[in-house]
Amino acid sequence: MDRFDSLRLFTRIVELGSFTKAAAALDMPRATATYVIKELEDRLGARLLERTTRQVRPTADGQAFYQRCTLILADLEDAEAALRPAAGNPQGLLRLDLHGAHASQIILPRIQDFRRRYPRIELRISTGDRLVDLVGEGVDCVVRAGVPRDSSLVARRLALLPEAVCASPAYLAEFGTPAHPDELARHLAVGFFSHNPDQHYPFRLQVDGQAREYRLKHHVAVSDADAYTTCALQGCGLIQVPRFRVEPHLQTGALVEILQPWQGPPLPISVLYPSQRHLSPRVKAFVDWVSTLYTERFGPPG
């Protein structure tokens, strides 16, 4: 087995947590897989995998080696794909990381359409609100809200989403309904933080033609978009979110939109990927597909 094949085997073992499953996926005997990994560890002079009766997981050295392997193998597959006559039918593993609400409400409900178009692409999708290190973690691309800050990533805007400030009827009955943004100082918000617990996000509204920020007190802070909405439904405070995420609650009256004359700036949504992935047929296929998906739902990104 050549070096690239041994790297493929190693990455499959890490991803599947099993020698048996990885060997089956690559159509080889389990004994061969065991021998190949032992030979790889001997050649590197490092233990890559911890083996127990229940699972296989990478050591610290193994995890670092896995992240490098995913990049090497992705580059190799992309180089080969660029020369194949069938470049229009990309194949291989595509690692995505999606913001939770965008995964559950927009992308995953249509994911079978992507699978039908590109049956040779294998998807590995992680979700949540955590900021990932695309290069370090071997992620091919992410869908994220806000203005991209990492200049090393290529960003393609997908949409500009209108936001709404809202609260539960119970909260408004207890604390009153603010009639002007300046009254927000007397209200509570549901706090939201991302990777840094000390970084909180202010409300942003257009007042007298200017964008203003309002920092509200909070008794509850969360790091998950679904938890953010749930806390608002329970009367914990005001929230500011893209309207599509709370539209069903607004329609049923479980949440009430307030301060409608003072809309905040629309929230940009982008798909981002490392610059070295710009020629990857797999990444290009997903970026083009997801761009069309957002345009169909929210209109051109402006």
Where along the chain do its domains lie?
1-83, 89-160+267-302, 163-258
Q: What single-letter amino acid sits at 98?
A: L
CATH topology identical between 1-83 and 163-258: no
pLDDT for residue 229? 95
Over residues 219-224, mean pLDDT: 89
Residue 70 binned pLDDT confidence (cut-offs 50, 70, 90): confident
Label residue 298 by pLDDT band (50, 70, 90): very high
| Yes or no: domain 1-83 corresponds to CATH 3.90.1150.10 | no
Q: What would the mean pLDDT of 180-195 be, rounded to a whole number?
A: 90
CATH number 3.40.50.460 is the correct assignment for the domain at 163-258? no
Q: Which two tokens stand for residue 133?
A: 């290190």
Q: What is the pLDDT of residue 278?
A: 59
Residue 283: CB atoms within 10 A of its CB come to: 23
Contact 137, 67 (CB under 8 A): yes
Average pLDDT over residues 9-38: 88
Percentage of residues of the chain with pLDDT beyond 70: 90
Question: Got the DSSP string for 255-282?
Answer: SEEE-TTSPPPPEEEEEEEEGGGTT-HH
| Mean pLDDT of all residues in 194-204 | 69
- How far apart CA 164 and CA 173 sit, in angstroms, is 19
Q: Which residues, in sequence order, are CB contacts of 107 under 8 Å at separation 6+? A: 98, 143, 290, 293
Q: Which residue has the higher pLDDT, 302 or 162?
A: 162
Q: What is the pLDDT of residue 166?
A: 97
Q: What pTM, to 2 d.p., does this model score?
A: 0.69
Q: Which CATH number fits domain 89-160+267-302: 3.10.105.10, 3.40.120.10, 3.40.190.10, 3.30.70.360?
A: 3.40.190.10
Phi-psi region of 228 (alpha: psi -120 to 50; beta: other; left: phi over 0): alpha
111 neighbors 286 (Cβ within 8 angstroms)? no
In the predicted structure, residue 46 carries a pLDDT above the cut 80? yes
pLDDT band at residue 251, thresholds of 50, 70 and 90? very high
Q: Higher model confidence: residue 150 or residue 188?
A: 188
Helix (H, G, I), strand (E, B) or coil at 126: strand
**C-alpha to C-alpha distance for 278 and 242, rounded to whole angstroms:** 29
Which stretch of 72-76, 105-109, 130-134, 266-270 has the lowest confidence by average pLDDT? 130-134
